[in-house]
Structure 1
Amino acid sequence: MPYRWTNIRTVEPSVPHDNIVHQPFSLWWAALAASDETMQGGPLVPAWLRLFSTHLSTADQIRLRWGGDLAQSAELRRAYSALYGRYFSRALLASRLGLTDFVSLRTNKTRLPNGIVVERTLKGDIPDWIAWNPAEGAYSLCEAKGSLTGRQADFMTGQPACIRDGKRQFGRVQVLDRSGRALATRNWVAANLWSTDGRPRESVSLLWDPPADGTVISEGDRQQHADGMRRRRIANIALRLGRPALLGSARRLGGALLRVTAKPDGDGMPTKVSTANEDELLRPIERPAGELHEGTYAAAMISAFGIRSVVTSEDVAALMLARKSGEPAMLFGLSVDSLRADQAIRRTWLSGQGIAAPDGLSLFDLHRVEIDV
């Protein structure tokens, strides 16, 4: 999955001047977000690995641009725009802001470890996720938007309607600790304006941070909350990995574990695009890996046929058979190290073969990595 160029604008009330950066964005981040959403019981779209390649523009293979308006009917266009908005928003929130352990919010009440509750207070749409912000030691509420018909000027210099709608959603929920106190959260709306062959404008991703009040988690309690969010995220995907024992306090792995070795290869990053300064060399915010990645994973195979957890010897045999085929297939992995409470946050490993994120989630091209059991 190559890089595609896009415009990323970040707006924070605490920063006097917001910024807009034209830079490459790796589609591996979007694919990882899509796979995690699928594994956690979100939109069941295992064929997203085909959709990216099917919908991406073939006329412009540099910019983040779709080949058409995603679908013929208005209803499907809105659905695809929202679905891709969800995937790309999560990818931006993780890659640009470092948020981890996304948990989808339930309609009225979402319970988290350590007695944390996210509770609806008013009617109307609520944010998509609660996530953990390691840099701030705080919870973050997050809302995703995708726009096919919005105005580029609104995204570049102003506040599009979808941002205003997203910001209002934060006022309809509250995050409470075990004593019923409202916690302060860093809240983010991530909105994507799509570019298509029929709408050849610049694509823009706008990250907006509305302020939030409440009790700040003490520094001594932050690691406990971070571990709790990780436990909740792991519980959400345990059954899809075919490992219900992960739900228990002992978190027994059981079943086959895969040792994955992936090589660095630059991820197909372009070095230059047409800009005001033709000699300008632009780089992505993350550095492509310069070393091997080796990790042990509880894993699942994602293909056009769906999700197959790799637990038994029969599952391993099916995985190895799929590796010999030419059909697109991905290997989704939960790092064994991520099950340890004292896991150290490391930088992202990213290559043309896949991505390994700091929160223990990884996604690889099944045909391009070495696998041992």
Structure 2
Amino acid sequence: MASPQIHTNDAFQYHWMVWKITGIRNPNGFPKRLYMLYAILINLFVTILFPLTLILNLFHTDGLQEVCENLTITITDTIANFKFLNVYFVRSKLLSIKDIVDKLDIRARNKADQQKVLGESVRIARATFKIFWGLYSFGTFLSLCKIAINSDKSLLFPAWFPLDWRNSTLQYSIVLVYQFFGLVVQAIQDVANDSYPSAYLCILTGHLRALALRVKKIGKKGNDLEANYAKLIECIRDHQAILELHVTIQGIISTACLAQFICSGLVQCTVGIYVLFIIGKNEISSLMLSGIFFFAVTLESFVICYFGHNLKQESEDLTNAIYDCNWTNQLPKFKKTLLFFMMRTHKHNVILAGNYIPVDFPTFVMIMKYSYSVFTLLVRLK
């Protein structure tokens, strides 16, 4: 009995589910106009108004401690919504990836080693989504706990509302329900926002690894030189498809990666300063919530850079795979074509944030270094 074939588009199944819920993509069979109304309402009340209440509250805060407390969530939420809007604008490119990936999947059919590589890529991409899901779920739970243990009326997050919620139980309930609804929707959006760049990089890397396995086997079995040449041409066409996939993914996640790097640096500095103010004040819930934000934004940048590094490494390994094939006993046209193929693979696949900054481990180290430098400067100014 043949084993089930891997479909690497399944790696994005959770993301498309979220984007359908949050108004990016109309589900099949759902009335178009009704869905458009739903998308407008949910994004008006959450994607636009929710961060606006946080921004407006910055102008109603007293003291640097309150500013830092509000600024952490404001920066994170504002940039998260910017990344969500970016998904909306690149949704057509996201759909175009499906066809490219399907074609690459066909080349790996009934090949156990390549199926294993692609299956592992799908599992890792889904696991990344689940990790962020757990992280944001814990953050949401922590915000609810903060309300539960607080004896005074307080909000899930510091925000400004044109209501006297402190002196009205009804208005306080309305504000609290709205914040909870907005927080849940924003958390769902953020899970997809933060995990989809890693998922696409993971699948791109998986297909590069599968291609390297195909290239290594050329000429190892069978003495049909023309057949070996045909296999090489097929691998070159697969590589062209992977390059097309790389360019498409670059256009999709470039802005999101740059926004994430900026968010990480700003939030790390803000949380550091805020912690200095609340140390010794027995504000455990605030300290834990700030720690969650610090860990989340740092993890988001690290995960992107990790998969970006893997992509670059796998691109280098493809060149080594070309050396490993049995090229010495092949036709002259095989060797000539292989040489051109090798020259092209020397240009390694690297994703650029903002079309300028390499998404790689050195970039992550640079972000941490600059954040620490700014934090040290702010401490001295304090």
Length-normalised TM-score, structure 2 = 0.23
Q: Judging by fraction of residues, say which structure has more strand.
A: 1
Q: Judging by fraction of residues, say which structure has more helix.
A: 2
Length-normalised TM-score, structure 1 = 0.24
